[in-house]
Amino acid sequence: TKMLCVFLLLLLLTATLALHPVHQDPAQDQRHLVHSVFEKRPILFLSEFEDFNEADVDLVKQRLSSLFPALDCGLDDMGEPTGGGGDGLVDKRELAWRLKRVEQDHLHLDARLHLQQFDGNDDLLLTYEELMTAYPHHSQRFYSADLNKDGWLSESEAGRFFHPESTPGMLKPLAGETMQAYDRNNDGVLTRAEAHAHTAGGQELFSSLDKDRDGVLNFTEVALWHKFKYDARVADLIARLLAVADTDKDGSLTVSEMTEHYTVFVGVNETLTAPHLELFDEDVLGKHDDHMLQEAAAGSAGAASGVENHAVHEDL
């Protein structure tokens, strides 16, 4: 009889859990939604989503066609729009410029959702104490994200904290965190063995990063490492887009190519193979991305992303 009672109690508990699943953090759910929507519409700002109704294909193509001039913006040597319009083609640099701007738009919303999660007193600011409970090893990241040095993180500053890998000026705390985690003997540099623990990269990658050829990676070279990761991910996403839409394989997109393959830019029925937002997360570097990283370290992806390497030294 006792065993039967225990069995019935377990059965009742199982049924209760099935009817009332464990509560999930709504901010976490919303961030997942932001990521998935970003994957499906990588070139659209949040404010542009409402203009695209997937059920009306002709309207979608019309909207995308009207958006094309904003993509074909024409860039100068520093990767900034010239203001004089483009040449009728959207090349890799123009795609990179747009993707980065759209990403920041989405990261701003993601920061707002993080704010809802960690802002204990609902003052729309994150204090050091509120964040260090969950991120005890990221104090330098907090201070770097706090641009006006008032001791709190606003919504825009919170975006810098939660997504430093996608934020100019945050290479220094990222490099510091990498050193803290992988510099086992605390000598201020990463050996090949220590660096290998941080990535799947081999001898080729290490040599590309070791700019002064001293056999170790110093702080600046580790910061460059994070920039190259960012460049590699941008280049990888561009390659994914071009693989689908660039039908003549000339390395750029016409308006007809974009409207013909509209689903990878603004649709919901065909998506890229990896979420765009998470391409910039720290833990997503797989074997394919490692190959892209080697190219970036050699400089090829840096040109595609429209960002010069000297920007790293300015950030430091």
Q: Dig out the tokens for 301 from the structure.
A: 């992806």
**Contacts of residue 104, Cβ cutoff 8 Å, sequence gap at least 6:** 159, 166
pLDDT value at residue 16: 42
Backbone phi and psi for residue 264, each to the nearest 5 degrees, phi listed first: -80, -10
Q: Are 160 and 169 in contact (CB under 8 A)?
A: yes
pLDDT value at residue 300: 39
Confidence of residue 46 (pLDDT cuts 50, 70, 90): confident
**Identity of the amino acid at 125:** L
Alpha carbon distance, N-terminus to C-terminus of the chain: 72
pLDDT value at residue 1: 59
Confidence of residue 121 (pLDDT cuts 50, 70, 90): confident
Q: Are 43 and 99 in contact (CB under 8 A)?
A: yes
pLDDT value at residue 304: 39
Average pLDDT over residues 80-105: 88
pLDDT in tens, 185-241: 999 999 988 887 666 555 667 888 888 999 999 999 988 888 888 888 888 889 989
**Contacts of residue 107, Cβ cutoff 8 Å, sequence gap at least 6:** 159, 162, 163, 166, 167, 277
